[in-house]
Structure 1
Amino acid sequence: MPYPEGHKFKVRGKIIESAAQAFRTNGIRDISVPFIMKGAGLTHGGFYSHFDNKEQLVAEACRYAISDTISFLQEVADQENKGPKINAVIDYYLSTQHRDRTEMGCILPALSSEISRASDEIRQVFTNELERMIDFISDVGKIDKAKGSILLSTMVGTLVLARSVNDSKLSNNLLTAGKQHAKELIKS
């Protein structure tokens, strides 16, 4: 019996979503194709009917993860009624919820150090996606790209440090200080 129309597209999407979740949590190097396929509810034998190699999947997962993050942060911004929409984005990005839910969070803090050692193809995709994120932050903040770059760098760096320490009080203090500084950047 043939598969229904769009089946292969849906399966590919499940694989990309599983990969994005796994990479957000554990990075690229430590995640195997069988692990990703299992997370998608599939056997690893079908992987190569969807992707040429793991590198192609990494590229697709980066694109998916940034689109997912931008969509979610746009919803956060759209719900802000009292102050600047960028403040709502900053508050969520530097929240304990975002810090603790790596599997659903922004892929930038999860992969930045690892991507610096990846192939040029992967680095180009990551560069393009980083630029999309800077554009999004700049648009929501109604700031130029230079300031958007500084703001995003501050937010990503703060989140990396807050996730890295094993002292919850220090981690929370980093998030609080990061929020404060990020909001000051917008005012200046």
Structure 2
Amino acid sequence: MSRLQAQANRQRVIAVAARMFREQGTAVSLADVMKAAGLTHGGFYKQFASKEDLVDEATAYAFNGPATYSAETSAEPAEEPEAARRIMIERYLSVWHRDHAGQGCPVSGFAADLGREPGIPDHAREIYSHGVRNLAARLASGGDDGLAQLCTLVGALALARATRGNPLSEELLQAARTALTERDTGQART
């Protein structure tokens, strides 16, 4: 195998792992990751020192990829920060994002595993923390640092995923969208 092919295989494993970890958690087996990447399990250790190494790289890959929270990938209007914030909220709290965790936000996708798995490398936690701060900054407005808004986004998405198939799931998404988009308008909910 050429060096170029080996590098392509490595990148494919990282991309597949990033998707699978967001969908199924970091407890997914290496054999399943390699199979999904179209490679043999035995080839894993030619590419990575350990599963922890793969978790690090998959976490970085997920955070460095494009932020698509919906099937629509049109660019956010950068010249209007409030409009961009609202579009991001709408996309983040969409049924599509709820149903496509593997292609979704790594903040919500990795949260449970990074919080409960003792073997997660410190580097992955640093990458995650940086990603959390960046996403919160995209939500910030006025004197708000965006952290509470981020908690609402991620919490609502987690609850909606857990109640998928029940009308409550979409109610949770809508309630969070309303809370986050009406908070700046001064409108009282009726």
What's the TM-score, normalizing by structure 1? 0.82
- Work out the percentage of aligned pairs sharing the same amino acid: 30
- What does the per-residue CA deviation read over 1:84-133, in whole Å, with 9 as the maximum and x for residues that have no partner? 10111110000000001122112322332221233475354234323234
- C-alpha change, 1:13 and 1:178, in structure 2 (3 Å) is same
How many correspondences in the alignment? 182
Residues 94 and 159 of structure 1 are in contact (CA less than 8 Å); yes or no, is this contact kept in structure 2? yes
Instruction: Give the CA deviation at 1:185.
Output: 4.6
* Equivalent residue, structure 2, for 1:150: 148
TM-score, structure 2 as length reference = 0.82
In the other structure, the counterpart of 1:164 is 162
Q: Partner of 1:128 in structure 2?
A: 127
Residues 24-43 of structure 1 aligned to structure 2 (within 5 Å)? 24-29=22-27, 31-43=28-40
- What corresponds to 1:65 in structure 2? 62
Asked whether 1:46 is paired with 2:46, we answer no
Partner Cα separation in structure 1 for residue 98 and residue 117 of structure 2: 25
Residues in 1 aligned to 2:116 and 2:93: alpha-carbon distance in whole angstroms? 26
Relative to structure 1, the CA distance from residue 187 to residue 6 in structure 2 (aligned partners, 3 Å threshold; closer, same or farther) is: farther
Q: Hey, what's the Cα distance between the residues in 2 that align with 1:50 and 1:68?
A: 21
Question: For 1:165 and 1:88, how far apart are their aligned partners in 2?
Answer: 24
Q: 1:42 to 1:170 in 2, by over 3 A?
A: same
- Following superposition, the deviation at residue 18 of structure 1 comes to 0.9
The range that moved more, 76-85 or 52-61, is 76-85
Structure 1 unaligned blocks of 5 or more = none
Higher deviation after alignment, 163-172 or 112-121: 112-121
Higher mean alpha-carbon deviation, 159-168 vs 45-54, is at 159-168
Q: Does 1:111 align with 2:110?
A: yes
- Which structure 2 segments of 5+ residues have no match? none
| Conserved 8 A contact 1:99-1:162 | yes
Higher helix share: 1
From 167, 172, 181, the counterpart of 2:179 = 181
Shift of 1:151: 1.6
